[in-house]
Each structure stands twice: as structure tokens, then as C-alpha cells.
Amino acid sequence: MSPMLITILAFVTVTGVMAAVLFMGTAKSPVEQRLKKMLPDGAPEAAEARKAHEGSLIKTALAALGNYGVGGGDSGLSRKLSTAGVRGPNATLHFLGIRTLLSFGPALAVLVPRVLAGKPLGPSLGTAAAIWFVGHMIVNMRLRSMGNRRSREITVVLPDTLDLMVVCLEAGLGLNAAIARVGKERSTMKDPLGQEFATVSLELRSGRTREQALRGLGERNGVGDLKTLTGMIIQCDRLGASMGTTLRSHSDLLRTKRRQRAEEAARKLPIKLLIPLALFILPPLFTVTVGPAVLQIMELFKGMGG
């Protein structure tokens, strides 16, 4: 048999097996089929149930794949996922499953046809390893980018959030009530810091101490300004100092630091513009301004030589 025919048969066999497994996993029982006939397809509850069922199947498959992924013992991976806002009981396994799928999948898709076609094993393994490395690094870079973007968003909105907390404290609310109010107001704006304050409020209502909840807020986000804020609130709570005055002073300090970071970024901008200016702007400009003169000089020399 030719290598191409073997490749096609292997692809058809693997596809058939995967389709059969997917059909067996998503097959509905007689009770579900009877309930589906009784409920309309457009019912919101039925649509949400179907989405939840499909999402649970996908997450289960990713978790099962993540058990065999590379890097499961990395202690810093869970911290990176928490900083990026990816949390849950199986968040690490889901990430490992996605990374394994996006790295080993393309590598095997390239390696198997090359081996079946009879090409040298060494170059085939080298190409597959390079593709695996690229996929692995792309997923890690995406995770790092998500974490950095979320940290910047928290840093930017932190002074405004502190101002809102100061207003709540001066209006007569306690610290726990102020945290709950800020979390409720800011979480409706899809603000990551507001969602974190809502999580802290939930932890306080569930019986966790204020110090533990605030320390958890600083640790799971990896933002230096937020860690400083939580430490300051814990210290003020222990000493009985004025929380409103302290938070207002810290808010002014954070706003000053935000302005300084903006000024620093503005000063770095001319240096960063040098590379695109030298590569993409100066060569066309030089060609447009000097090109006609060069052509005229070439024509002049040709006329003199004639």
C-alpha cells in the first residue's frame, strides 16, 4: 500500500473513533429525549442546560488531557493562572489540556504523515519538536499577556476604587459593608478589581476573618500596589487608626504614581519610535526624495558615454 493511502486510512480510523466516543458521550437517555419533546427548543432553561452540558463535556475532556500534560508539577503555574483571572478547582488541568492540545496536536499532525511517507526520522522529529515548542510558547505567552493586562487594569482603577471606598466609609458604613458596596458597584462594570472586592465580601460573609480575606486579595492578584493597600488596611485595623484618612492619603499616593508612570511611558515613546522610523519611514522618504535625482544622474552619464 502507498504511504498516502495508509495516511488516509489512519486519518479516517482516528476520526471515526473520536466521533464514536463523542456520540457516546453526548447521547441522550430516553428520559432526556422525552423531556426534549415536552419542552420547546427555544426555552431559555433548555438552552442553558445544553450549554452547561456541552461545556462540562469539553472541560472534562480538557482535564483528562491535562493529566498527561507537561508542567503539571509547576508550582508557579497556579499563581500565573490566578493572576490572569483563570480560577477554579480544575483550572490548572484545563490550562494544561489546552496547552497540550495546541502543542502536541500540530506536532503529531506533521510527524505522522512524514513518518508514514518514509521520510527520514531525524528531520521529522526535529520539525515536530520545533512545532511543539512554538505552540507551547504561544500558549505561555498568551497566559502571561492576560496576567499583565489584568494587573494593569487593576493598577489603573485602584485610586478611583479607593475614592469610592472613602465615600462609603465617610457615609457611615463599616469596612465590611464598604467593601461589599464597592464590589457590588464596580463588578457591574466588568471591573476586575470590583470582582475581587465582591469575592472578598463573599469570603467575609462565609466566616473568613478580615485579615485572611484581605491577604488573600493581595496574594492571588500579584499586584504590588494592591498588596501594599491590603497590608495598610490590616495595620490600620489593628491599631484602630482612621481608615478614611489613611485610604484618602494612599489614594493620592497611587494617583501620583499613576501620573509618574504615564510620564515615564511618554518619555520612552521617542526611543521606541526610532526602530519603526528607521525601518519603515526613512527608506521610503529617502527613495522618494533622492530617487528622481539618481535617475537623472544615471541618464546624464548614459548620455555622456554615448
Q: Name 78's Cβ contacts closer than 8 Å, sequence gap at least 6.
A: 91, 92
Q: Rounded distance, CA 179 to CA 201, Å?
A: 6
Give me the pLDDT at residue 200, please: 92
Give me the pLDDT at residue 45, please: 43
If we measure between CA atoms, which residue out of 211, 251, 245 comes closest to residue 231?
211
Q: Rounded distance, CA 216 to CA 167, Å?
A: 24
Q: How confident is the model at residue 32 (pLDDT cuts 50, 70, 90)?
A: low
Give me the pLDDT at residue 86, please: 84
Q: Name 206's Cβ contacts closer than 8 Å, sequence gap at least 6.
A: none
Tell me if residue 290 falls in helix, strand or coil: helix
Q: What is the pTM of this model?
A: 0.69
Cell 475581587 locates to 196
Give me the pLDDT at residue 22, please: 47
Give the length of the chain.
306
Q: Taking 80 as the threshold, does the pLDDT of residue 5 lie above it? A: no
| HEC profile of the chain | CCHHHHHHHHHHHHHHHHHHHHHHHHCCCHHHHHHHHHCCCCCHHHHHHHHHHHHHHHHHHHHHHHCCCCCCCCHHHHHHHHHCCCCCCCHHHHHHHHHHHHHHHHHHHHHHHHHHCCCCHHHHHHHHHHHHHHHHHHHHHHHHHHHHHHHHHHHHHHHHHHHHHHHHHHCCCCHHHHHHHHHHHHHCCCCHHHHHHHHHHHHHHCCCCHHHHHHHHHHCCCCHHHHHHHHHHHHHHHHCCCHHHHHHHHHHHHHHHHHHHHHHHHHHHHHHHHHHHHHHHHHHHHHHHHHHHHHHHHHHHHHHHC
- Mean pLDDT value across residues 93-108: 84
Give me the pLDDT at residue 29, please: 54
Q: Rounded distance, CA 13 to CA 8, Å?
A: 9
The amino acid that residue 41 corresponds to is D
Q: Kindly report, residue by residue over 246-283, the tens digit of the pLDDT.
A: 888 888 888 898 899 889 989 998 888 888 888 888 88
The amino acid that residue 217 corresponds to is L
Q: Rounded distance, CA 88 to CA 300, Å?
A: 76
Domain boundaries, the chain: 151-259
91, 81 contact by CB (below 8 A) = yes
b/e sequence 50-75, b meaning 16+ C-beta within 10 Å:
eeeeeeeeeeebbbebbeebeeeeee
- Mean pLDDT value across residues 45-57: 48
